[in-house]
Copies of this chain bind each other. A is one copy, B any other.
Amino acid sequence: MTPPATASTPTRSPEAIRAEREAFYARIGQDNLAPLWEQLHNLVTKTPTSACVPAHWSYNQVRAYITEATDLITAQEAERRVLILENPGLRGKAAITTSLYAGLQCILPGEVARAHRHSQSALRLILEGDGAYTSVNGEKTIMRRGDFVTTPSWTFHDHGNDSDKPMVWLDGLDVQLVAALDASFAESSNDDQQALQRPVGDSVLRYGNGMAPVDWTPAPNKASPLFCYPYARTRESLFGMQAGGQPDPCLGYKLRYIDPLTGGAPMPTMGAYAQLLPRGMTTLPYQCSSGTVFAVLEGEVDVQVNDTRFTAVPNDVFVIPSWAAHTFSVRDDAVLFSFSDRPVQEALALYRENRSGRV
């Protein structure tokens, strides 16, 4: 083995060295090899650098498209009639962040979104309507605005609307994460609607009152057996917490939804949160390594993300990319729902945040 070229032949021109290397790269490329040193700093970056950008969807604007979509295709034909919220930096990938998918789903009165199951975990935040249902693993839950409902990995689930108005909700799924792991499995049910095995609301009775059946054992999907979190309770907690102390300067009053049998996230791949930002508050800059999708449940906030600024009102959805510094200026007491891959990053020891107020 001769000494390295760069050391032994100092008189060669940079162009010659470059040409020699490129020729080498071309040759080894034929054998499925590539030089790490040409791309190390693109693969291992100093801070997150994905193409994901901040974006804001006005519910008012999207709602019109939803109506159009209900004219264009039935829930039955669509299986799931959803408008995907595609991140402008990630077009064509059905992604709102690098790891997550979001969409707005609508079911008209009398429609059914038939039963299926898949590796992907899904969450719902109800934006409009009252009285449609989601059934999960033999139990139906009736959904009202603001309710947070999960359909964990590999659970049969179907939706239906027995009310007399359209029902719209925000869907969040871990589609891109599951794709990155190449671990997607799916199955249709033989039945449009699954048979019910327990009464409506049973999971709240069994797991939502600070108790659990004495024989309860964890499910293989590591998901919370409590799969509906009524907004009435969330709201009571958020507004009640104000009497207990000052808001966090970056986050206001922020709660995370928990699996009451573990204290962890309701599903292992996605965390969900609700926060109250009191009127008049302007939060300090905050950064975290989990790109986060927000939906406004109450109030009005001006959102500043790096150089992007927009005003969000109820039912609007917006996304903050990983490590993007952002602040909220609160025009009216605001309740924000949000979800992200934070539990994944925490499980893998990758999660970081910056609450110093300095970017």
A120–B182 Cα distance when bound, in Å, is: 19
CB within 8 A of A237: which of B35, B211, B220? B211
Known A43-B175, A245-B198, A263-B212: A80·B36 in contact at CB below 8 Å? yes
Please tell me if the beta carbons of A86 and B33 are within 8 angstroms of each other in the complex: yes
Which residue of chain B has the shortest Cβ distance to A46 in the bound complex? B186
Q: Is A229 an interface residue (CB 8 A)?
A: yes
B residues in contact with A61, CB < 8 Å: 31
Interface residues of A in 22-47 (CB under 8 A from B): 24, 27-28, 31-37, 39-40, 43-47
Contact yes or no, B248 A205, CB < 8 A: no
Task: Indicate if A344 sits at the interface (CB-CB under 8 A).
Answer: yes
Tell me whether B260 and A205 are in contact (CB under 8 A): no
Q: Check if A14 is an interface residue, CB within 8 A of chain B.
A: no
Nearest Cβ on chain B to A81's Cβ, whole angstroms? 7
- CA A248 to CA B39, docked complex, whole Å: 41
Surface stretch bound by B, among A4-12, A294-302, A307-315, A328-336: A4-12
How far is the CB of A5 from the nearest CB of chain B, in Å? Answer: 5
User: Given the known A-B contacts A65-B31, A72-B20, are A36 and B78 also in contact in the complex, defined by CB atoms under 8 Å?
Assistant: yes
Are A35 and B69 in contact, with the CB atoms below 8 A? yes
Number of interface residues of A (CB under 8 A): 142
* Interface membership of A285, Cβ < 8 A: no
Closest chain B CB from A92 CB (angstroms):
8
A207 to chain B, nearest CB (A): 9
Whether B74 pairs with A4 at a CB distance below 8 angstroms is yes
A-B contact pairs, 29 of them (CB 8 A): A2-B71, A4-B74, A5-B71, A5-B73, A6-B74, A21-B72, A24-B72, A32-B91, A33-B65, A34-B86, A36-B81, A37-B77, A37-B78, A37-B81, A50-B182, A98-B179, A98-B181, A178-B350, A181-B290, A205-B237, A205-B244, A210-B257, A210-B260, A211-B237, A214-B256, A222-B349, A223-B349, A260-B260, A263-B263
Which residues of chain A have a CB within 8 Å of any CB of chain B?
1-7, 20-21, 24, 27-28, 31-37, 39-40, 43-50, 52, 55, 57, 61-62, 65, 67-74, 77-88, 91, 94, 97-99, 101, 103, 108, 118-120, 153, 166, 175-187, 198-199, 201-202, 205-206, 208-215, 220-223, 226, 229, 233-234, 236-237, 240-241, 243-245, 248, 251, 254-263, 268-269, 273-275, 289-291, 321-323, 341, 344-345, 347-352
